[in-house]
């Protein structure tokens, strides 16, 4: 969706600060902070006894976090009636890809010493790495078409259809993380991400059902009262 997308709800009252020209640069800088922290840690030696593992894990964590943030934009702008939030979505999506690439590079370099043959064999042999790689590859065309001219060239509908691949990306990403933790029955962190993703995708499903005519009627108080024949207290 373009940054000029019109507000869907009439009741939207855009907070003026969301439109402030400084918002985007600030989010950009904030998104670079995890990287800055990791680079600092690598240089200063504060990443603990196993810095390679720390780098691979953290970049993976941040990929998943940015993915959640990107997917949170749509529900958040509905819940808080802030359509202007969508201005940040593309940047967050690109940062997801950015951290995903860093995650892959850390694995390829620190675990595989950048030996291409070893990397290919490892990916083919191990489902959890294969799934992670698939998620990253799926993100590539989305990142590549994330500029306005691409949208124009592709046509809004096709562009949107392509970008629905983000749902596959998040599910593959969750599976990648799940498999990594599977043998250790250590699903605490995973459940948090899975829960967040469930809410973010669940909201979309609910909303999609609402927009079908009959259900849309249910969504409005009067319509709901009529079709359900429910006695409303107010």
Binding positions for other proteins, rule: CB under 8 A:
42, 45, 47-53, 55, 110-111, 113, 122, 125-126, 128, 179-180, 182-186, 188
User: What tokens appear for 145 in the block?
Assistant: 């078409």
Q: Which is nearer to other proteins, 121 or 227 (CB)?
A: 121
- Kindly state the smallest distance separating residue 55's Cβ from other proteins, in Å: 7
Which of 48, 101, 73 lies closest to 163, judged by CA? Answer: 73
Residue 21 or 45: which CB sits closer to other proteins? 45
User: For helices 51-79 and 89-106, what crossing angle results, to 10°?
Assistant: 160
The least distance separating other proteins from the CB of residue 173, rounded to whole angstroms, comes to 17
Which of 23/180 has CB closer to other proteins? 180
Minimum distance of other proteins from residue 186's CB (angstroms): 5
Which CB sits closer to other proteins, 12 or 105?
Answer: 105
| CB 192, min distance to other proteins, A | 14
Kind plus residue range of the DSSP H or E element containing 134:
helix 127-144
CA distance to 28, 53, 100, 131, 144, per residue, from 137 (Å): 23, 23, 10, 10, 11
> What is the CA 106 to chain-centroid distance, rounded?
20
């Amino acid at each position: 969706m373009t940054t000029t997308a019109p507000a869907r709800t009439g009741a939207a009252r855009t907070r003026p600060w969301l439109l402030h020209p400084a918002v985007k640069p600030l989010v950009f800088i904030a998104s670079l902070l995890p990287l800055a922290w990791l680079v600092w840690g690598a240089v200063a030696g504060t990443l603990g006894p196993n810095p390679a593992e720390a780098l691979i894990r953290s970049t993976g964590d941040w990929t998943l976090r940015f993915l959640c943030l990107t997917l949170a934009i749509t529900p958040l702008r509905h819940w808080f009636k802030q359509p202007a939030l969508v201005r940040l979505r593309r940047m967050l999506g690109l940062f997801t890809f950015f951290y995903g690439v860093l995650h892959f590079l850390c694995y390829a370099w620190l675990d595989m010493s950048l030996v291409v043959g070893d990397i290919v064999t490892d990916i083919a042999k191990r489902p959890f790495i294969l799934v992670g790689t698939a998620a990253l590859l799926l993100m590539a065309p989305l990142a590549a078409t994330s500029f306005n001219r691409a949208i124009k060239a592709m046509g809004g509908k096709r562009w949107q259809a392509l970008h629905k691949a983000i749902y596959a990306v998040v599910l593959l990403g969750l599976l990648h993380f799940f498999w990594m933790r599977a043998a250790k029955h250590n699903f605490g962190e995973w459940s948090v991400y899975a829960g967040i993703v469930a809410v973010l995708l669940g909201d979309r499903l609910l909303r999609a059902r609402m927009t079908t005519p009959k259900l849309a009627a249910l969504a409005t108080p009067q319509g709901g009262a009529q079709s359900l024949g429910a006695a409303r207290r107010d």
